[in-house]
Amino acid sequence: MSNTPASKTFTLTDDDNGQSWQYPVLEGTAGPGVIDIRKLYADTGHFTFDPSFTATGSCKSRITYIDGEEGILMHRGYTIEDLAEKSNFMEVAYLLLYGDLPNQKQRSKFDHDITYHTMVHEQINYFFRGFRRDAHPMAIMCGIVAALSAFYHDSLDIWDPDQREISAHRLIAKIPTLAAMTLKYSLGQPFMYPRNDLSYSENFLYMCFGLPAEPYRINPVLANAMDKILILHADHEQNASTSTVRLAGSSQANPFACISAGIACLWGPAHGGANQEVLEMLDQIGTKDRIPEFIEKAKDKDDPFRLMGFGHRVYKNFDPRAGVLKKACDEVLNDLGINDPRLELAMELERIALEDEYFVERKLFPNVDFYSGIILKAMGFPTSMFTVLFAVARTVGWISQWKEMIEEPALRIGRPRQLYTGPAKRSYVPVEDRD
C-alpha cells in the first residue's frame, strides 16, 4: 500500500452553508482506491451509511485481491488458477500465512509443524457426547472450536508472536481432525486418529472414511480433488465470515473464539451454507424439464426462492473458482465411474440461467458453491458436511487475516455507528396509567 501523500482528494461540500472538506484517496497495488473518511464525523458531525458494506473498505490487506468485473482472484499476487493447478494446500496455507511461497526447507518445517499438531486433547472426545447424533455438524464445530481455547492456555496471548503462530498452527492442524470427528460422530463410527505419514488432504480423507476394521486405501484422484477444493476455498478477501473474524479479533478475543465466530457466520445459506443448499435445490428440481419452473421462482420477487450457487456480491463475471471446480467435478466423477444426474442438471441449469435476461442483466453467474456440492457428494460426504469442509479450508484464510490485523500497529476495536430511527425522548408511564 502506498504511504506517500495522497495525489488525489475528494471534496465534500455542505450545500446549506458552503463549508467544504477534503478527503485523501489512498491507492493500493491494484483495484479501486479508497477515500479516507476517518475524519468525516469530526469534520461534519455526520456518519456514512452503508448497511451491507457494498462500498466500504474495512481494512488494508496484502493477502487476497479480487477483481469482480474481470473474475480475477489472487492470493499474495498468485492467481487462483495457477495455485489450483501447480501448488498444493499446505503451500497455499504457508503463502497466506507468511506472504510468500515456501522454499524446500520452509516447506518441510511447516509440514512437520502442522502434522505434529493434528491430534486433539483426548478430553475433547467427551464434548461430542453432549450432542445428539443428528446435530448439524456446523453446530458442533461452532462449539468445539471455541472450546479449544479451554485447552491451550499457553497460546492465548495475542500480543506474543510465538503464541500467535502456535495458535495458527494448532487451528490449521486440528480443524480437519475435529471436522472428521464430527462426521464420524454423526455416523456412530469410532473417531480415527490422524496419521503422520499422510499429507494434509490424504489424512483428512483417512480420518473421515477410514475404519479401524480394515486398511484404508488412499485414492490419489480424491486426495488431489480434496486438496484442490481446500485451495479454492482458502481465502476470499473481506467476505462476511472473514469480516466477522476480524471484528471479533478487534476486541482482542482469543483466536479460537474468533475462528468459531467465523464458522457461525459461514453457516448462513447466503454464504458458506449455499453449497448444501445447492444440492438440496438440485434434488428439489429433480429433472431438466422442471428447470424453467424454478428459474421463474428465482425471478419472482414474491417468492423467497433463490437460485442457490448463483450470484455474488463481488463477482459480476464468472467466479474463477467455479470453473476450476467444474473441471475437478468431471475428473472425480469419471474416476469413480459415477454418473450423477445432478451434474447434468446443474450444467443445464447454468446454461438456461445464463441465457435468461434476468440473470444476464444482474450479472448472476455460478459461484464457488455451485459445483462443489456435486464433487463432495461423489466423494462420499453427506450434504450436512459440505459447509464444514468450507470451514476446514477457510480456517487458514481466517487466521491469516486475523494475524495480519493483530500485527497492524495500533489495533483498535471495530465499533460501527448507526442512523437512529427509534422514538424521540419520552417520559416513563407507570403500568397502571398505560392503555
State the residues that interact with ligand SDX by CB under 6 A: 236, 239, 270-272, 274, 298, 306-314, 362, 364, 367-369
Spatial distance between the Cα atoms of 39 and 20, rounded to a whole number of angstroms? 13
Asked if 340 and 378 touch (Cβ cutoff 8 Å), the reply is yes
245-279 burial, b at 16+ Cβ within 10 Å, e below that, comes to bbbbbbeebbbbbbbbbbbbbbbebebbbbbbbbb
- Residue 47 and residue 418: Cα distance in Å, rounded? 8
Cell of 378: 461423489
Say if residues 279 and 377 touch (Cβ distance below 8 Å). Answer: yes
Q: Nearest approach, Cβ of 73 to ligand SDX (angstroms)?
A: 9
- Nearer Cβ to ligand SDX (218/291): 291
- Contact at 8 Å (CB) between 204 and 392? yes
Catalytic residue among 75, 169, 312, 319: 312
d(CA 257, CA 107): 28
Tell me the closest approach of the beta carbon of residue 97 to ligand SDX, in angstroms: 18
CB of 62 to ligand SDX, least distance (A): 18
Task: Report the residue number, 183 or 349, with the smaller CB distance to ligand SDX.
Answer: 349
Q: Which is nearer to ligand SDX, 152 or 370 (CB)?
A: 370
Q: What is the DSSP string of 294-351?
A: HHHHHH-TTS----TTB--SS-SS--HHHHHHHHHHHHHHHHHT---HHHHHHHHHHH
User: 28: which residues sit within 8 A by CB, 6+ positions away?
Assistant: 1, 2, 34, 60
Q: Which residue sits closest to ligand SDX, CB atoms considered?
A: 311
**Shortest spacing between CB 272 and ligand SDX, in angstroms:** 6
Q: Is 312 a catalytic residue?
A: yes
Write down the least CB distance from residue 406 to ligand SDX, Å: 21
Strand partners, 211: 214
Task: Report in angstroms how near the CB of residue 424 gets to ligand SDX at its nearest.
Answer: 32
Q: Is the dihedral of CA 179, 383, 386, 238 positive or negative?
A: negative
Of 158 and 308, CB closest to ligand SDX? 308
Cβ atoms 383, 276 nearer than 8 A: yes
The sheet carrying 78-79 orders its strands as 64-67, 72-75, 78-79
**In terms of CB distance, is 182 or 367 closer to ligand SDX?**
367
Which residue numbers are catalytic? 312, 369
